[in-house]
Amino acid sequence: MIGETHRFTLRALKTQHSLHLPPFSSLSSPMADPSPKPVPLLKDQLDIVIPTIRNLDFLEMWRPFFEQYHLIIVQDGDPNKVISVPQGFDYELYNRNDINRILGPKANCISFKDSACRCFGYMVSKKKYIYTIDDDCFVAKDPSGKDINALEQHIKNLLSPATPFFFNTLYDPYREGADFVRGYPFSLREGAPTAVSHGLWLNIPDYDAPTQLVKPRERNTRYVDAVLTIPKGTLFPMCGMNLAFDRELIGPAMYFGLMGDGQPIGRYDDMWAGWCVKVICDHLGLGVKTGLPYIWHSKASNPFVNLKKEYKGIFWQEEIIPFFQSATLSKECTSVQKCYIELSKQVKEKLGAVDPYFNKLADAMVTWIEAWDELNNTSEETSSKQPNGAAK
Ligand SMILES: O=c1ccn([C@@H]2O[C@H](COP(=O)(O)OP(=O)(O)O[C@H]3O[C@@H](CO)[C@H](O)[C@H]3O)[C@@H](O)[C@H]2O)c(=O)[nH]1
Ligand SMILES: [Mn+2]
């Protein structure tokens, strides 16, 4: 309402820019709350990043879990379209004009017309943790019928150690009612810092186009009550739909690549990031978890459109995977940025022959790190900072 103040976070970015402010009517204005809610976990240390091409009505269902967190909305597609955000949410919104204004020529490393654009939100955030979710993902129910607070479960996953060096057969040993089983080395029971928490999906599973075409009516109804650490040396297909990570531990590696408009490939944004992230986590001794929490994925994207986007990736990945499986990083790679730059050199060297696209991608990986360091003033720290933040 006129005159009512609204909690709108204006971010002091390196280059001041006028955020794309939707008309005042669609701006947030938190309703006065007579009975203050308990402060949610990591309230001021976590941003929720949402890539979108549509109005964000889905937030209504998430309001009990998300309303007290800051949102970073990355609006893809036509920047003149106004995205409406339900009242009461604290958010900043960036469209393509903002990305171009903030990054200048480096904006060419951020995809257009693809959910890969979400990684811009990771870059501009100033928080320690990120949760990213698609706008067609809703609150799922656990087998008891209780609404699942996906964000709370991700936070638990991130705040407890991982076990990448030795597999615990009773799954997450740090979980209430579980522990390390007999034969688990005591020297390894401290675990490793958790960098990534990869959640899953009920209803529409994240299948590739060929599988979608063969099984158009398949729905995931199986709720598996487990969180697993993905063992060191094992890659995994990371889906960006329901994903959380420690931005200080692994953020610079969460680049979602060159996808969408003008690119020969799509729907491999999160996959590419996941393969780079896992190689770097293994090198730096960080953990990646998958399993709980579930969200309810409501919309299957068009399998024919998806097939066109994925087509080249389906056979390229038969070369990409062996590349990541055999990728090694030197001991001089003591920070995520250094690991990532080293990896980009190997991409150019070893995948450039697969297709010229990988030369472009390798260059974009470097541009991403340059932009990340510039926006986060981390270039001088990069040379000395250990992944756990301790200076050399
Ligand atoms: O051009 C676009 C298209 C979509 N978005 C936003 O991105 C997410 C995901 O979109 P959608 O749910 O339509 O697509 P899915 O196929 O279900 O996405 C999953 O597959 C992977 C494709 O990369 C991806 O990791 C998953 O997200 C929504 O929020 C759209 O609004 C966009 O920004 N630009
Ligand atoms: Mn979807």
Kindly report, residue by residue over 102-156, the tens digit of the pLDDT: 999 999 999 999 999 999 999 999 999 999 999 999 999 999 999 999 999 999 9
Atom of ligand 1 nearest to the CA of 306: 16
262: left (phi over 0), alpha (psi -120 to 50) or beta: left
Using the mean position of ligand 1's atoms as its centre, give its distance from the Cα of residue 134 in Å. 6
Residue 241 in contact with ligand 1 by CB distance below 6 A = yes
Q: What is the average per-residue pLDDT within 147-167?
A: 98
Residue 54 in contact with ligand 1 by CB distance below 6 A = yes
Percent of the chain with pLDDT over 90: 85
Using the mean position of ligand 2's atoms as its centre, give its distance from the Cα of residue 304 in Å. 15
Look at residue 377 in the predicted model and tell me its pLDDT. Answer: 86
Look at residue 159 in the predicted model and tell me its pLDDT. Answer: 98
Two structure tokens written together for 318: 């038969």
What Cα–Cα distance (Å) separates residue 270 from each residue in 114, 118, 123, 257, 305? 11, 10, 15, 8, 18
280 contacts 254 by C-beta, under 8 angstroms: no
Report d(CA 128, CA 116) in Å as an integer: 21
DSSP 275-312: HHHHHHHHHHT-EEEEEEEEEEE--PPPHHHHHHHHHH
Report d(CA 201, CA 71) in Å as an integer: 21
Kindly report, residue by residue over 344-367, the tens digit of the pLDDT: 999 999 999 999 999 999 999 999
Residue 95 in contact with ligand 1 by CB distance below 6 A = no
Using the mean position of ligand 2's atoms as its centre, give its distance from the Cα of residue 358 in Å. 26
Percent of the chain with pLDDT over 70: 87
DSSP 244-267: EEEHHHHGGG----S-BTT-S--S
ipTM of the complex model: 0.96
Q: Is the pLDDT of residue 391 over 50?
A: no
Residue 110 in contact with ligand 1 by CB distance below 6 A = no
C-alpha neighbours within 13 Å on the C-beta side of residue 112: 14
Look at residue 23 in the predicted model and tell me its pLDDT. Answer: 39
Kindly report whether the peptide bond that precedes residue 185 is cis, defined as omega within 30 degrees of 0.
Answer: no
Q: Is the pLDDT of residue 386 over 60?
A: no
Amino acid at 235: L
Tell me what the pLDDT averaged over the chain comes to. Answer: 90
Substitution candidate for ligand 1 out of 115, 202, 307 with most atoms within 8 A of CB: 115
253 contacts 280 by C-beta, under 8 angstroms: yes
Residue 212 in contact with ligand 1 by CB distance below 6 A = no
Residue 52 in contact with ligand 1 by CB distance below 6 A = yes
Residue 303 in contact with ligand 1 by CB distance below 6 A = no
Q: Is the pLDDT of residue 389 over 80?
A: no
Q: Is the pLDDT of residue 388 over 80?
A: no
Q: What is the average per-residue pLDDT within 54-62?
A: 97
**Atom 12 of ligand 1, nearest CA residue:** 136
**Atom 11 of ligand 1, nearest CA residue:** 301
Look at residue 205 in the predicted model and tell me its pLDDT. Answer: 96
Report d(CA 82, CA 95) in Å as an integer: 10
Report d(CA 347, CA 320) in Å as an integer: 9
Kindly report, residue by residue over 2-41, the tens digit of the pLDDT: 333 333 344 444 444 444 444 333 344 455 556 766 778 9
Kindly report, residue by residue over 178-213, the tens digit of the pLDDT: 999 999 999 999 999 999 999 999 999 999 999 999
Report d(CA 349, CA 359) in Å as an integer: 8
Which residues are bridge partners to 94 per DSSP? 74
Q: Is the pLDDT of residue 383 over 70?
A: no
Q: What is the average per-residue pLDDT within 319-324?
A: 98
